[in-house]
Amino acid sequence: MPKPIHAGNNITASLAALRSVTLLQWAMFFSGFIAWTIDAIDFFSVSLSVTALTKQFNRSTNDITTSITLTLLFRSLGALIFGMISDRYGRKWPLIANLLLCTLFSLCTAFALDYGSFLAVRSLFGIAMGGIWGLSAATALENLPVQVRGLASGVLQEGYAVGYLIAAVINLTLVSYDPFGWRALFWVAAGISAFAAVIRLCLPESQVFLRAQADKRAKAEQGVVVHNKTKVFLRETRAMLRAHWLRCIYAVLLMTGFNFLSHGSQDLYPTYLQQTKGFTAHNANIATIIGNCGAVAGGIFAGITSQFLGRRLTIVIFTLSIGAFIPLWIIPSTFSPLAAGAFCVQFGVQGAWGVIPIHLAEISPPAFRATFPGVAYQLGNMVSSASAQIEATGGEHQRTLLNGVQGIFLGVVAAFVIFMTLIGSENHSSEFEKHKLAFELGGGRDDAFEESEQSEAAQEQQSVGSVTPLPAAGAEGAGEKEENERRETV
């Protein structure tokens, strides 16, 4: 059953919480947002360059989309590696390393001279790319007030659409006139990745980890035995998996549906418009830009809505809206209705997606909110990695029925997402930032909050009249010193 919506989730409380956000909190959020934007720029640079890459390497569209499949396959490995490192050591340096690797592999992609080296680099890129989402979401959300996280989730997730939008604009302008063609897109992406790494470098560690470090120093000064963090982390990880293996499976299935939803509606849409509808590359890019404007609007609106309607209901509403616009998305042959269809479909797709960062963070084991969401997301990506090839193969073998194939594919996926959302649960307004970290004793339990939080209620009770009575006047058997001690205690 879903947790009752927090009493503070009303418009007045949300606006007050939004005004209370500090400049540092906004900066931390922005660093997570831009990192996720980089992920999208790097990934969709291939999708936008499929036609150019088929000519460059003299390969079919299906061969080129193999690189997309390999990138998605290896992302789950990166999510596991970087997620575990982040939950163990902190958010800052793992994310910086992630972004620098993205910079390196983006440059290597731009300098690939043959099809084999191109595939190899994109596979390695998948490992680096896999860690970005979990680390970005944790960095951006855990430092914000609870009432702001719905809006923040919608904005954060639309870094994905903004990245696609930026890549499309670069492809439409710079790439069209640069003598190096598609390679220029990856050079620009590498520069933006390096810029994002510098931004994160200038900001401090996440507050929850700074708190844990201060607690460790205080205990060491008091002579308290501090356990080996790595051993504790591994033990708490095993405890979490034993307790929540079913939740892990559910999250992977949910994210499988969501990834089919996004990749099935985006990855090959520019290629579809060019090869099936006869659009020029320029018009296909314009339609893509319009679609991603709808995605940004949908994600932000859904994020705000989820703070009041709940996470699951918002996802179901926006996913249902997709079905209404599938015909407009694929059937027309002229630019205007197809662009309008792209806007409406992406409004629904990314609207549902806008709730996912906070929804996954809230239902995840609290101490593993970088690893759990990141791995679930990327394993779902791995399962859906063949979506581009499914569409490409369908387009090659069923050209006369391509419109119907695409519509049926997206409709079935939307129905699956609704089903998985309805059978799940939610933990609306979870205060996961108050939970113990994964390297602290008991961190693997859902109820393992910080001692200061656990003792708060007891302290309040003690302050409301639970006072030990003093001995009666003239009573004997207690010395003056003991009586004074009792008075001081009271």
- CATH number of the domain where residue 447 is located: 1.20.1250.20
CB atoms within 10 A of CB 442: 14
Query: For residue 9, what pLDDT is reported?
Result: 59
- The residue written with tokens 């307004």 in the block is 429
Tell me phi and psi for residue 435, to 5 degrees. Answer: -80, 155
Of the candidates 27, 270, 18, the one whose C-alpha atom is nearest the C-alpha of residue 148 is 18
Query: For residue 106, what pLDDT is reported?
Result: 92
| Axis-axis angle for helices 50-57, 115-130 (nearest 10) | 140
Q: Which residues of 144-159 are buried (b: 16+ CB within 10 A; e: fewer)?
A: bbbbbbbbbbbbbbbb
Rg of the chain in Å (alpha carbons)? 26
Tell me phi and psi for residue 449, to 5 degrees. Answer: -85, 165
Q: Is residue 15 part of a domain?
A: no
**Rounded CA separation 485/489 (Å):** 6
Enter the tokens of residue 464. Answer: 């409301």
Q: Is residue 60 part of a domain?
A: yes
Enter the tokens of residue 108. Answer: 């290597």
Query: For residue 416, what pLDDT is reported?
Result: 95
Domain that holds residue 329: 22-451
Q: Which residues of 382-394 are buried (b: 16+ CB within 10 A; e: fewer)?
A: bbbbbbbbbbbeb
Query: 329-333: long-range contacts at Cβ-Cβ below 8 A with a sequence spacing of 24 or more?
Result: 329/265, 329/407, 329/410, 330/403, 330/406, 330/407, 331/403, 333/277
Q: How many domains does the chain have?
A: 1
Report residues of the chain scoring pLDDT below 50.
1-7, 398-402, 453-483, 485-490
Query: For residue 4, what pLDDT is reported?
Result: 45
Distances (CA, A) of 23 to 18, 289, 405, 484: 11, 31, 48, 49
Ranges of H-type helices in 355-447: 356-363, 371-383, 387-397, 402-423
CB atoms within 10 A of CB 62: 15
Q: Is residue 473 part of a domain?
A: no
DSSP state of 435: B
pLDDT digits (tens, 9 = 90+) for 32-48: 999 999 888 988 888 88
Q: What sign for the dihedral angle of Cα 353, 358, 362, 365?
A: positive
Query: For residue 27, what pLDDT is reported?
Result: 93
DSSP state of 433: G
Of the candidates 432, 266, 269, the one whose C-alpha atom is nearest the C-alpha of residue 357 is 432
Q: Is residue 474 part of a domain?
A: no
Phi-psi region of 205 (alpha: psi -120 to 50; beta: other; left: phi over 0): beta
Q: Is residue 464 part of a domain?
A: no
**Rounded CA separation 286/51 (Å):** 16
Q: Is residue 331 part of a domain?
A: yes
DSSP state of 366: G
Q: Is residue 6 part of a domain?
A: no
Q: How far is CA 256 from the centre of its chain?
A: 14
Q: Who contacts 413 (Cβ-Cβ below 8 Å, separation ≥6)? A: 257, 260, 261, 264
DSSP state of 449: B
**Rounded CA separation 314/151 (Å):** 13
**Rounded CA separation 427/365 (Å):** 11
Partners of 435 in the β-ladder? 449
Chain length of the chain:
490
Query: For residue 90, what pLDDT is reported?
Result: 86
Q: Is residue 2 part of a domain?
A: no
